[in-house]
A and B are shown apart, each in its own frame.
Chain A
Amino acid sequence: MDAQTTTPSTAPQPATAEKTLSITVTPKAALKAREALVKRGTPQAMLRLGVRGGGCSGFSYVIEFAEEPSARDRVFEFDGVKVVVDPKSLIFLNGTTLDYETKLMSHGFKFVNPNEKTSCGCGESFTV
């Protein structure tokens, strides 16, 4: 996917029912996440996805280890990997696919987010 993503919806539209919000993790990303969790010595731990303010384009993506979900987190499971997202981040991440890419020079996770208007080269930051 091109880094400069444009969609007709320029801002995240507050969804009416929380249940309709969701994310996807590709099998490859799930595999790599599980490997990372095992390597860390915490195979039962989870992956937290989210957004926070900051970065060159306004918001940055968060991808980090989490020991357990917080009370209001939505918990997803993809190929045995538990993924938690706080409800506020989920509004921005709705419809996002977490992928894992292997390139010649680098490899790592990538957020493919339909809410994204512009993003920057470092892949961490975006505007909605």
Chain B
Amino acid sequence: MIVRDRSDRLTSARYDEAQDSMALLQIFDPKARPEPIGIDLGTTNSLVAHVVDGRATCVLDCDLSPLLPSVVHYASHGGVLVGAEARDLAAEHPRETLVSVKRFMGRGADDPETRRLGPYDFVSPREGESNTVRFRVRERVVTPVEVSAEILKVLKSRAESHLRTVGGAVITVPAYFDDAQRQATRDAARLAGLEVLRLLNEPTAAALAYGLDKGRTQGTFAVYDLGGGTFDITVLSLDDGVFQVRSTGGDSQLGGDDMDRAVALDALHAMGFEDLATVPPTLVRRALDAARAAKHALTDATETALTIERDGDAPYVRTLTRDDFDALVRPVVERTGPACRRALRDAGVKPEALDGVILVGGSTRVPLVRRYVKELFHHEPLADIDPDQVVAFGAALQADMLAGTGPREDALILDVIPLSLGIETMGGVAEKILPRNTTIPAGRAQQFTTYADNQTGFILHVVQGERELAADNRSLATFTLKGIPPMPAGAARLEVTFRVDADGLLSVGAKELTTGIEQHVEVKPSYGLEAEDVERMLMESFEFAEQDIAARQLRERVVEAEQVLGATQKALTIDGDLLDEDERAELEGALRALRDAMQSGDRQAIHLRTEGVDRAALPLAERRMNRAVQRAMSGHALQEFEEELKDRPVHPHLVGDGHTH
């Protein structure tokens, strides 16, 4: 019943394949304190964990995986995808998909290393701009802090959907992160609306997860962390129950990705590519994906098939044994040796004097790595906690400790938002952004887009209440965001942020992301609102629930139908010649039927007729696409249909459902 952006269907398919192994729900206690969380913001993958009954556990996503790939894809029309969906798009859209953004955190734009770290479109800072790395992704420019914030937002909402109320967060950072990198991490958290309880060194988090601080007060440990793209070795000492970093070392350009690269390179050579510069980027990405899949398989299996799809050719397939694999990746693994020996020397510790070695990072699952670590440190490494999750577990334990676990009687009496707060969207529908009973302080952002072509402004009508239509709710404020350059419908990206501070003051911010134009307003939602009013408004929402839902569904169908009508008529005007008479008659008939249905006010009929127009317009859509491609290929500029500019702000239009997962 939410109006989805018709232009961006990237997010729709994934959850239709819901898994049978559905996770089960636990009873939530509204009197429980907000849950502190631990976040491992990794180079390759990120995780969020919390503590239940003294045990740390990771929050799973809809596919029951604890890992969120640290990949952010900027889709056309300003949509943002994070995680596996983004990673899947990296092969096709290498420049719009930011992988391993952590490497850029706190780095200067003029750092010569920076540009070697990825195939991105770097933007030099303009006069007066700070010296941070900037990437151009489609029509916008983003910083590593903003990209990291997208990842943190998803982790936060993942935690919220599971825990309902999320308290502060402990976020882990590499032991070697300098002040600028730590500050960048804090900034990203703030952008994502997370309160940072503490930044914790990753190796310390791993040691906490293993409980190495329990039952002893002294000790020396090595933490061997081989992730996707980074290798860190840290020697920690425990003095009077406090972990201290004795030495760190590593290689910020070494990890499981290098193993994938070694395997992929070997395969590409076997496929006949001599000069790697001649390999199409798409094929490189596919080879890397295939290599990674083979690596995972070889953790348990002793042999696997490596398959690489080729355009216009049969896929490349070969059998890879674990011995083949070990031979290919041994040079990568051995590169960790010098750093380990140096770290031990810097800490003044002999391998025999260590009290333990901990394995962290998914790449330590590779059997060769375990053997190598054992040789190097003369210790059987601790590996019984999942090396992907161990850092997040430690962070969660630390967060739990910092937040203090008091008995229930001490639970904070929290203020809540008495009535939902939201904005009016197309069709007069009230879109709730902060639902009622959300504990404050609270914040949430949601994206909207333009409804009409060349729409140059948005009217933001802030409403309060539980009713489905804006007109039935209490109006708090109205403001407009103007000056947006003319764009096709759906191209503008309006981010609306609602924040309620501890005093109950609501500030609503609206920012058009492609241009950076913003506006904001503050209101006191409780002003002039008595307890009886709240009660009455709640009662009404129950009283009219059925009519409200029906009215909302009808309006949403009408909005959808109007969009389809508009887009189809526009296409017909410009490219109507692409249809033969029969097709044209059929499409015009479908349009007439839809208009009639809209007159009738029958929700189901409008929906069916809208789908009918979509179907009848299919040949036109396909041929228009072909014509555009041909024009682009023959070098002619695309003749854009000039439409009279509508300098009229309209209500924003919801993009997706505002949830990234």
Q: How large is the interface on A (under 10, 10 to 19, 20 to 34, 35 or more residues)?
A: 35 or more
B278 at the interface (CB under 8 A from A): no
Closest chain A residue to B61, Cβ basis: A122
Asked if residues B27 and A125 are in contact (CB atoms below 8 Å), the reply is: no
Tell me which of B13-21, B140-148, B222-230, B310-318 binds A.
B13-21
CB contacts under 8 Å to B, within A94-127, are 100-101, 103, 106-111, 118-125
Hey, which chain A residues are within 8 Å of B60, CB to CB? 121-122
A13 to chain B, nearest CB (A): 9
Asked if residues A58 and B25 are in contact (CB atoms below 8 Å), the reply is: no
A33 at the interface (CB under 8 A from B): yes
Please report the C-alpha to C-alpha distance between residue A51 and residue B35 in the assembled complex, in whole angstroms.
Answer: 21
Please report the C-alpha to C-alpha distance between residue A67 and residue B51 in the assembled complex, in whole angstroms.
Answer: 25
Asked if residues B21 and A121 are in contact (CB atoms below 8 Å), the reply is: yes
Hey, which chain B residues are within 8 Å of A101, CB to CB? 24
Q: What string of 1s and 0s marks CB contacts (under 8 Å) between A48-87 and chain B?
A: 0000111111101111111000111000000000000011
A37 to chain B, nearest CB (A): 9
Please report the C-alpha to C-alpha distance between residue A27 and residue B634 in the assembled complex, in whole angstroms.
Answer: 70
Asked if residues B27 and A106 are in contact (CB atoms below 8 Å), the reply is: no
Closest chain A residue to B157, Cβ basis: A54
CB contacts under 8 Å to A, within B614-661, are 657, 659, 661
Hey, which chain A residues are within 8 Å of B18, CB to CB? 3-4, 118-121
**Contact partner of B62 among A40, A52, A108, A125, CB < 8 A?**
A125
Please judge, given known A-B contacts A88-B541, A121-B23, whether A128 and B64 are in contact too, CB under 8 Å. Answer: no
B569 at the interface (CB under 8 A from A): no
Closest chain B residue to A4, Cβ basis: B18
Asked if residues A57 and B15 are in contact (CB atoms below 8 Å), the reply is: yes
Hey, which chain A residues are within 8 Å of B466, CB to CB? 88
Hey, which chain B residues are within 8 Å of A124, CB to CB? 23, 25, 161-162
**Contact partner of B29 among A40, A55, A62, A110, CB < 8 A?**
A40
Asked if residues B15 and A63 are in contact (CB atoms below 8 Å), the reply is: no
Asked if residues B546 and A128 are in contact (CB atoms below 8 Å), the reply is: no
Hey, which chain B residues are within 8 Å of A93, CB to CB? none
Asked if residues B25 and A109 are in contact (CB atoms below 8 Å), the reply is: yes
Hey, which chain B residues are within 8 Å of A122, CB to CB? 22-23, 60-62, 64, 161-162
Please report the C-alpha to C-alpha distance between residue A12 and residue B23 in the assembled complex, in whole angstroms.
Answer: 24
Please report the C-alpha to C-alpha distance between residue A82 and residue B342 in the assembled complex, in whole angstroms.
Answer: 65
Asked if residues B27 and A64 are in contact (CB atoms below 8 Å), the reply is: yes
Hey, which chain B residues are within 8 Å of A110, CB to CB? 22, 24-25
B517 at the interface (CB under 8 A from A): no
Hey, which chain A residues are within 8 Å of B541, CB to CB? 88
A11 at the interface (CB under 8 A from B): yes
A8 at the interface (CB under 8 A from B): no
Please indicate which of the listed interface residues B17, B19, B466 has the most CB atoms of chain A within 10 Å of its own CB: B19
Hey, which chain A residues are within 8 Å of B31, CB to CB? 65
Please report the C-alpha to C-alpha distance between residue A108 and residue B180 in the assembled complex, in whole angstroms.
Answer: 44
Asked if residues B659 and A56 are in contact (CB atoms below 8 Å), the reply is: yes
The size of the chain B interface, using a CB distance under 8 A, is 44
Please report the C-alpha to C-alpha distance between residue A107 and residue B275 in the assembled complex, in whole angstroms.
Answer: 55
Please report the C-alpha to C-alpha distance between residue A108 and residue B162 in the assembled complex, in whole angstroms.
Answer: 13
Hey, which chain A residues are within 8 Å of B553, CB to CB? 11
Hey, which chain B residues are within 8 Å of A2, CB to CB? 20
Please judge, given known A-B contacts A64-B28, A122-B61, whether A54 and B659 are in contact too, CB under 8 Å. Answer: yes
Please report the C-alpha to C-alpha distance between residue A111 and residue B620 in the assembled complex, in whole angstroms.
Answer: 43
B573 at the interface (CB under 8 A from A): no
A38 at the interface (CB under 8 A from B): no
Closest chain A residue to B422, Cβ basis: A53
Hey, which chain B residues are within 8 Å of A61, CB to CB? 25
A30 at the interface (CB under 8 A from B): no
B601 to chain A, nearest CB (A): 15
CB contacts under 8 Å to A, within B1-56, are 1-2, 15-31
B67 to chain A, nearest CB (A): 14
Please report the C-alpha to C-alpha distance between residue A62 and residue B438 in the assembled complex, in whole angstroms.
Answer: 13
Hey, which chain A residues are within 8 Å of B546, CB to CB? 14-15, 91
A7 to chain B, nearest CB (A): 15
B549 at the interface (CB under 8 A from A): yes
B324 at the interface (CB under 8 A from A): no
Please indicate which of the listed interface residues B2, B535, B545, B553 has the most CB atoms of chain A within 10 Å of its own CB: B545
Hey, which chain B residues are within 8 Å of A108, CB to CB? 23-26
**Contact partner of B432 among A53, A66, A106, A125, CB < 8 A?**
A53
Please report the C-alpha to C-alpha distance between residue A22 and residue B375 in the assembled complex, in whole angstroms.
Answer: 65
Please indicate which of the listed interface residues B18, B20, B466, B553 has the most CB atoms of chain A within 10 Å of its own CB: B18
CB contacts under 8 Å to A, within B443-498, are 466
Hey, which chain B residues are within 8 Å of A12, CB to CB? 549
Hey, which chain A residues are within 8 Å of B161, CB to CB? 54-56, 60, 122, 124-125
Asked if residues A87 and B23 are in contact (CB atoms below 8 Å), the reply is: no
**Contact partner of B435 among A52, A56, A66, CB < 8 A?**
A52
Asked if residues B661 and A62 are in contact (CB atoms below 8 Å), the reply is: no
Closest chain A residue to B541, Cβ basis: A88
B63 at the interface (CB under 8 A from A): yes
**Contact partner of A72 among B15, B61, B542, CB < 8 A?**
B542
A25 at the interface (CB under 8 A from B): no
Hey, which chain A residues are within 8 Å of B21, CB to CB? 121
Asked if residues A106 and B435 are in contact (CB atoms below 8 Å), the reply is: no
Closest chain B residue to A37, Cβ basis: B27
Please report the C-alpha to C-alpha distance between residue A125 and residue B26 in the assembled complex, in whole angstroms.
Answer: 14
Please report the C-alpha to C-alpha distance between residue A55 and residue B62 in the assembled complex, in whole angstroms.
Answer: 9
Asked if residues B23 and A86 are in contact (CB atoms below 8 Å), the reply is: no
Closest chain A residue to B431, Cβ basis: A53
B539 at the interface (CB under 8 A from A): yes
B123 at the interface (CB under 8 A from A): no
B292 to chain A, nearest CB (A): 23
Ordered by A's residue number, 13 sampled pairs between the chains whose C-beta atoms are within 8 Å are: A4-B16, A4-B18, A53-B432, A56-B661, A64-B28, A64-B29, A65-B31, A101-B24, A109-B26, A118-B16, A118-B18, A119-B22, A122-B61
User: Which residues of A approach B to under 8 Å, CB–CB?
Assistant: 2-4, 11-12, 14-15, 33, 36, 40-41, 47, 52-58, 60-66, 70-72, 86-88, 91, 100-101, 103, 106-111, 118-125, 128
Using A4-B16, A121-B18 as known contacts, list a sample of 17 further A-B pairs with CB atoms less than 8 Å apart, ordered by residue number in A.
A3-B22, A14-B550, A54-B659, A63-B25, A63-B28, A64-B27, A64-B28, A91-B549, A100-B24, A103-B24, A106-B24, A108-B25, A109-B27, A118-B16, A121-B64, A123-B24, A124-B161
